Amino acid sequence: MAVLTFVEHWEGKFKKTSYESISYGRKISDDLNQPLYVVTLGAENIEDLKKYGADYIINVPKINLDNTSNMSIAKLITEAINSIQEDKPSTIIISNTNTGKSIAPILASILNSGLITNAIDHPESYNPLTINCKVFSSKAIAKYQSNYKQNIITIVPNSIGGINEKNGDGKLIELNIDTDLFVDKKITVKNRNKLSGKISLSDAEIVVSAGRGLKSSENWNMIEELADLLGAGTACSKPVSDMGWRPHSEHVGQTGIAINPDLYIAIGISGAIQHLAGVSNSKNIVVINIDPEAPFFKAANYGIVGDAFTVVPKLIEAIKRHKN
């Protein structure tokens, strides 16, 4: 029974999370000695996928994803799975991105398969499939076991083993189906707003985040400058986006996006439990706060007690000096 990974791309470019899920799939394929299929929709730079160990790449060419819903994406993946004659996949891997989170349960319902979400590790055993997953907004880890023959696993980005290059045959299978049949006629996309950050939060290895301690939206120039210098994404606390200082797409936490960067720099954020729920999986946390009693210091690897308006410009100068 084969292993299959669905990978997303954005405007033709594959995401970091896509390479991660292929690497994850490759490891399972090697463990089970089974081929790895990679499914993608309307992609162009398919050659890229070979580098991470895809044995077969199933692409649905010439598809316009602008008007597809998550339901239609799940149906297209089902078509791809059904096109595999032998080696029907027993394990399907999807990254826990916004799209991945939505399509995985739809796909599980269509295929009547098991669904294990938020995996943060490789399977501990395959019979039955057993995996550690994060639960309760990352406050606990649960060990899930599935007795289904076919299972979908969603993996938490940037939390498992990273990206490993390993050449695969990458045999291309073009799936020529009438994609119009899969367009969800009940849904019309009226407009699309591009995220303001230059680097998407789910892909960012470094995130510079700020909270109410910054006092007003005008003070975000230094946050953006620091982020630019570090090649980082920008994030904020909930009140900041509620007050319209920053777009909602930057709000991290329990009710916002959950992120797992290598480095999270929190500036003028108190560290409320709801904020920590979305960022506590960061590999390193640096907190800059004027109040030495701020709860965030308890979760920090490094802390700077000081006024953001003094510390951040100094940090920017130091990084510039270092770069020169």
Residues that bind ligand FAD (CB under 6 A): 211-213, 237-240, 253-256, 268-270, 272, 274-275, 278, 288-291, 294, 307-309
Nearer to ligand FAD among residue 20 and residue 250 (C-beta)? 250
Instruction: Evaluate whether 70 touches 102 at the Cβ level (below 8 Å).
Output: yes
Least separation in angstroms between residue 264's CB and ligand FAD is 12
Nearest one of 9, 12, 192 to 97, comparing CA atoms: 9
Least separation in angstroms between residue 270's CB and ligand FAD is 3
Least separation in angstroms between residue 243's CB and ligand FAD is 10
Q: Which residues contact 102 (CB under 8 A, 6 or more apart)?
A: 70
Least separation in angstroms between residue 306's CB and ligand FAD is 7
Nearer to ligand FAD among residue 76 and residue 223 (C-beta)? 223
Nearer to ligand FAD among residue 220 and residue 309 (C-beta)? 309
Say if strands 233-236 and 140-146 run parallel, antiparallel, or are unpaired: unpaired
Nearer to ligand FAD among residue 165 and residue 291 (C-beta)? 291
80: left (phi over 0), alpha (psi -120 to 50) or beta: alpha
Q: What would the DSSP string read from start to end of 194-235?
A: --SSSS-TTT-SEEEEE-GGG-SGGGGHHHHHHHHHHT-EEE
Residue 121 DSSP SS3: coil
CA angle, 305 as apex, 300 and 307 as ends, to 5°? 125
Nearer to ligand FAD among residue 182 and residue 297 (C-beta)? 297
Instruction: Evaluate whether 48 touches 37 at the Cβ level (below 8 Å).
Output: no
Least separation in angstroms between residue 107's CB and ligand FAD is 27
